[in-house]
Amino acid sequence: MQLFPCPFCGPRDETEFHYGGDAGNARPDGGDVPIDRWANYLYLRSNPKGAAREIWVHMNCGEFFVMERDTLTHEVLSSTALGEEHTA
Amino acid sequence: MTRRYSALSLFKEGLAGQTGWKQAWRSPEPKPSYDAIVIGGGGHGLATAYYLARNHNIARVAVLEKGWIGGGNTGRNTTVVRSNYYYPQSVELYGLAHRLYEGLSKDLNYNVMLSQRGMVNLCHSTAEMEVGARTVNAMQISGIDAELFSPEDVRRVAPIYNFSPYARFPVFGGIWQGRAGTARHDAVAWGYARAASRLGVDIIQNCEITDFIIGGGRCRGVQTTRGAIRGERIGMAVAGHSSVLAGKAGFRLPINSYALQACVSEPVKPILDTVVLSPGTGVYVSQSDKGEIVIGGGLDRIPSYAQRGNLPTLETVIAGVLEMFPIFGQLKLMRQWAGIVDVVPDSSPIIGESPLPNLFLNCGWGTGGFKAIPAGGTLLANLLATGKHNEISRPFDLDRFATGRLIDEAAGSGIAH
Ligand SMILES: Cc1cc2nc3c(=O)[nH]c(=O)nc-3n(C[C@H](O)[C@H](O)[C@H](O)COP(=O)(O)OP(=O)(O)OC[C@H]3O[C@@H](n4cnc5c(N)ncnc54)[C@H](O)[C@@H]3O)c2cc1C
Ligand SMILES: [Zn+2]
């Protein structure tokens, strides 16, 4: 069992967390968004091998956060609550 | 010098002390250029090369594999072959694969040990039975064999299932496909490799693609750990590593890579002669010809390129097995492993030209592409030979993510993803 750091609760079992996609994948705004941009937003993924920045949610407390992680070694480098990633 | 496998050649080699067998495929040095380059020596890549030579008479073909052929998901899968999908496009695709599998040992002159022992997808409630009936109807209308099983039918094919009145996942019936079964995974890779090699295809192992050669906005070849190789057309079938290569080619794909685990027990006497899948536990089980109980389950839910799998998922899978088959409680597990699978939002593959012109894709098979190898190979070969889709591959083009014409086989894929 790997432990992931919830910014609110601290280290908890990996099974309590849910993956939420690439960090920085902002929803396009406005009424005239071209189809390709919608498709990019909805479906295209970076899916990096190695260093990754991802959105996760700790399902027990509901905290959403950005986790920096290595997808090959599973090493966790940082976790930052959403909204705080610019100040941190 | 024995080239063709037959009962007679077995007999002759017996007399000759097995000294005449040749290597099953050649291992030549890479040439500077080919008519077609296929990246990835898994089942799909090898089958693509074979059908290029056999169906399209294009034999100046190289398969470039970074490790050893079949060392990816093809050699790590639980070998279930079936075609019980829901949508007409999938029925065409997996139906083609299934038919080709049925003739494959003869076609390749290599025994892929296809064993059509049947498969039952269990239904654990009245509601699941209703969905089951709908699925069976859809399959029958599409001309795919399927039968709705009663609890008695299930008991007949899988008497060791947990039929206790206290079972957590009781049996209300099931979806039966009699033509489904298993095949030997290595044999599929090796059989295609041998047949392709005999038709002139170069199979080059320990050759990793590190970059693409791009000229005039088109893909012209690849940079590899064994030098630059040019190709008239380039195809890639690299499963869980599709996004990595796409990144080098300058585009992204609707794919997340996850570890999918499997495990086998010690070998035991024959006890289960069919494939049983329980949607309740997310686990499916069969028995290999060697006697091992082969166990597969759901994905690890953490995006990963670590070809190993995490413990919690394995625990869930084992718990599911014991719920389904309490009789396996004393079995010893012998091996556990994982493969990195390419998961797409609609659980259907991606087949077609990539955003980099002249580079063609065969990926997104996720947890279920072993059964599709003959079709994936046929279709990528057709794309590489003609540059165009046929009716079977057309719906699976990457453009469906922009047009919204998804083919959502989340249920048909059997394993949740
Ligand atoms: C545990 C498990 C159980 C499964 N069970 C089933 C099942 O029961 N039924 C079913 O139908 N499917 C099953 N699958 C899915 C199935 O195994 C795959 O969909 C299928 O094997 C994919 O074949 P492929 O040829 O596309 O990929 P692979 O066999 O993975 O081949 C891709 C190859 O590309 C190579 N490669 C990657 N990057 C590079 C590079 N840069 N340069 C050169 N080569 C490269 C890799 O080394 C690899 O050999 C299972 C998968 C797993 C992991
Ligand atoms: Zn928390």
Tell which wins on pLDDT, B411 or B417: B411
Question: B78: Cβ below 6 Å to ligand 1?
Answer: yes
For the cut 90, the answer to whether the pLDDT of residue A66 exceeds it is yes
Determine, for residues A47 and B256 on separate chains, whether the beta-carbon distance falls below 8 Å: yes
Nearest to B70 by CA among B325, B260, B339, B330: B339
Nearest to B119 by CA among B270, B272, B275: B275
For the cut 70, the answer to whether the pLDDT of residue A88 exceeds it is no
Residues of chain B with pLDDT > 90: what percent? 93
> Which ligand is the nearest neighbour of the Cα of B224?
1
Range B217-221 contact pairs with CB under 8 angstroms and sequence separation of 24 or more: B217/B357, B218/B356, B218/B357, B218/B358, B219/B249, B219/B354, B219/B356, B219/B357, B219/B358, B219/B359, B220/B358, B221/B33, B221/B37
Determine, for residues A49 and B257 on separate chains, whether the beta-carbon distance falls below 8 Å: yes
For the cut 70, the answer to whether the pLDDT of residue A38 exceeds it is yes
Q: How many Å apart are CA B377 and CA B189, to the nearest integer?
A: 12
Relative orientation angle of helices B185-198 and B43-56, to the nearest 10 degrees: 30
What number is the ipTM of this complex? 0.95
Written as one letter, the residue type at B169 is F
Q: Tens of pLDDT along B192-243?
A: 999 999 999 999 999 999 999 999 999 999 999 999 999 999 999 999 999 9
| Per-residue pLDDT, B414 | 62
> pTM, whole model, 2 decimals?
0.96
Q: Tens of pLDDT along B19-71?
A: 988 899 999 999 999 999 999 999 999 999 999 999 999 989 999 999 999 99
Instruction: Indicate which CATH number applies to the domain containing A68.
Output: 3.30.2270.10
Q: Is B355 an 8 Å CB contact of chain A?
A: no
Element counts in chain B: helices (H) and strands (E) = 11, 18
Q: Is B250 an 8 Å CB contact of chain A?
A: no
Domain spans, chain B: 30-110+185-254+346-412, 119-180+256-343
In a domain, A30, yes or no: no
CA distance A60 to chain B (A): 16
CA distance A30 to chain B (A): 18
Question: B45: Cβ below 6 Å to ligand 1?
Answer: yes
| Per-residue pLDDT, B417 | 45
**How many independent structural domains does chain A possess?**
1
Best CATH choice for the domain B30-110+185-254+346-412 from the list 1.10.3720.10, 3.30.70.270, 3.50.50.60, 1.50.10.20 = 3.50.50.60
Q: For the ranges A61-75, B59-73, B131-145, B321-335, which has the lowest average pLDDT?
A: B131-145
Chain A partners of B255 at a C-beta cutoff of 8 Å? Answer: 45, 47
Q: For residue A20, give its domain range.
A: 3-24+35-87
**Average pLDDT of the residues of chain B:** 95
In a domain, A29, yes or no: no
| Per-residue pLDDT, B2 | 59
Q: Which of B51, B367, B409 to mutate to test the pocket of ligand 1 (most atoms within 8 A of CB)?
A: B367
Conformation bin of residue B231: beta by default, left when phi > 0, alpha when psi is -120 to 50: beta
Q: What is the fold, at CATH topology level, of the domain defined by B119-180+256-343?
A: D-Amino Acid Oxidase; Chain A, domain 2 (3.30.9)
Distance A8 CA to ligand 2 centre (A): 5
Give the pLDDT band of residue B81 (cuts 50, 70, 90): very high
Distance B107 CA to ligand 1 centre (A): 22
For the cut 70, the answer to whether the pLDDT of residue B360 exceeds it is yes
| Per-residue pLDDT, B409 | 86
